[in-house]
Structure 1
Amino acid sequence: MRALPEGLDAARLCQVWIVTRADGVTLGFTDHDRDLVVDGVTCRAGGGWSPGARETAAGYAPGQGAALGVLDDAGITEGDLAAGLYDGAKVAMLQVDWSAPSRLVRLWTATIAAVSREGQAFTATLAGPLAELDRVAGRTFTRLCDARLGDARCGIVVPPDATCDKRWATCVGTFANGVNFRGFPTSPGEDFLTLYPVEGERNDGGRR
């Protein structure tokens, strides 16, 4: 448990959540019985926010948590959630002295990884800062295509009932789309590491 800085009285503390969307919009919520201004952000009372279950990160594990809330026309709205405006939003949780909101302690920061809804309530799944270590960056070099059939990288209009097994032969033979193939069909496989010249065979590099 984090120790409180000197001068903070646990009896006067409340929870505050500050949410910053990717478009720069910032919203604040508190479990106190009246609105508070914290770090220049008006944190609304009665916004329905409360902490859910939290999984503490161990070592380099990313750690996850949840925040529970209620849809509210003056706060987080159904339309904004549906539009994905809170995807990737930053959430900071603080403990604040409600009698002097400038006196506070920051508990943690997280990113909204997913939002699920049930009626007028929602649950935001929060990923800790180390979750960035799990993010896949760049491309995987494989013989198979990594585009999705019909997407912008694939570039074709999908015929009815078409499926694609991601192979070069299928891309060329079935869809005549070799120019947009997003794999590396001539890449050597794992067995390439174990190959060696064999006496009496044709050792011209054609066998991979």
Structure 2
Amino acid sequence: MRALPAELADRLESGAAGLCHAWILTRADGMVLGFTDHDRDLVVEGVACRAASGWTAGAAETAAGFSPGLAAAVGGFDDAALSEADLAAGLYDGARVECRVADASAPGLSVLLWTASVASAKAEGGGFTLALEGPLAALDRVAGRTFGRSCDAAFGDLRCGVDVGAFPGATCDKRWATCREVFGNGLNFRGFPTAPGEDFLTLYPSDGERNDGGRR
């Protein structure tokens, strides 16, 4: 449950409050911009929030669930606020977005709804679209390497090291045998070919077999 300022709670109770949304965007370089869906500019949390921005509550409200990759904010370009040139330069990548609900007649009274960061930004249709991700998005990212028998490098990248030009039309199935025998690239194999698989639980030594751990 969100804690409301006592004065805002009183105004809501009396019906005197007129609520609107305000978005405060802080870029990585420290520049702060404000936007609102009210019909006039407001100052919220000390930030001038422009009414003529094109931002709407419905466009960004899906971010309240903190679902990574699903939320978006849209608006129109304004050279005095968010310009297409700055967007193209990547100045909004990673920016922090804070959404607040404020009393339009007393914008100093506001409550934080959610925070998010800009995962990507692009220009389209004469305006912009910011893809937002909530705080839980960090839990959705893969960290480290995959421990498995198959190679986890992309065919031909720096970790792989294979000159794809020398093998026109070739593809790689990520297997140790393919890397070693087809491409002669065993030294750069980025998997663990001797890692035990699920069948390891059912294996047992048999007479007449070579049980020195050297099989791959």
TM-score (norm. length: structure 2): 0.75
- Structure 2 distance, partners of 1:85, 1:140, is 33
Evaluate the alpha carbon distance shift between residue 202 and residue 168 of structure 1 in structure 2; reply closer, same or farther with a 3 A threshold: closer
Number of matched pairs: 205
| Contact 1:36 1:42 survives alignment (8 Å) | yes
Please tell me whether the aligned partners of residues 101 and 111 of structure 2 are also in contact (alpha carbons under 8 angstroms): yes
SS at match of 2:34: strand
Is 1:196 matched with 2:200? no
Inter-partner Cα distance in structure 1 for 2:179 and 2:126:
46
Distance 1:123 1:14 in 2: 21
1:180 paired residue number: 188
Question: Given the alignment, which residue of 104, 108, 114 partners 1:102?
Answer: 108
Superposed structure 1 runs of 4+ greater than 6 Å apart: none
Q: In the superposition, relative to structure 1, how do residues 176 and 132 fare at CA in structure 2: closer, same or farther (>3 Å)? A: same
Distance change >3 Å, CA 26–CA 149, structure 1 → 2: farther
Q: Is the 8 A contact 1:94 1:108 kept in 2?
A: yes
Give the secondary structure class of the aligned counterpart of 2:7.
coil
**Residue 169 of structure 2 corresponds to residue 161 of structure 1:** yes
Identity %: 64
Structure 2 CA distance for aligned equivalents of residues 47 and 88 of structure 1 = 20
Shift of 1:152: 3.1
Alignment partner for residue 170 of structure 1, among 170, 175, 178? 178
- In structure 2, relative to structure 1, the CA distance for the partners of 1:207 and 1:180 (3 Å cut) is closer
Match of 1:25 among 5, 21, 31: 31
Structure 1 equivalent of residue 42 of structure 2: 36
The aligned runs of 1:45-56 (5 Å cut-off) are 45-51=51-57, 52=59, 54=62
Structure 1 SS opposite 2:108: coil
Q: Deviations over 1:116-139 (max 9, x none)?
A: 653113333333222222221111
Verify: 1:140 aligned to 2:142, yes or no. no
* SS in structure 2 at match of 1:171: helix
Gaps of at least 5 residues in structure 1 are none
Q: Tell me how far apart the structure 2 counterparts of residues 26 and 162 of structure 1 sit (CA, whole Å).
A: 50
Whole-Å separation in 2 of the counterparts to 1:141 and 1:14: 50
Residue 107 of structure 1 and its aligned partner are, at CA, apart by 0.8
2:97 and 2:64 map into 1 onto residues whose CA distance is 16
TM-score by structure 1 length?
0.78
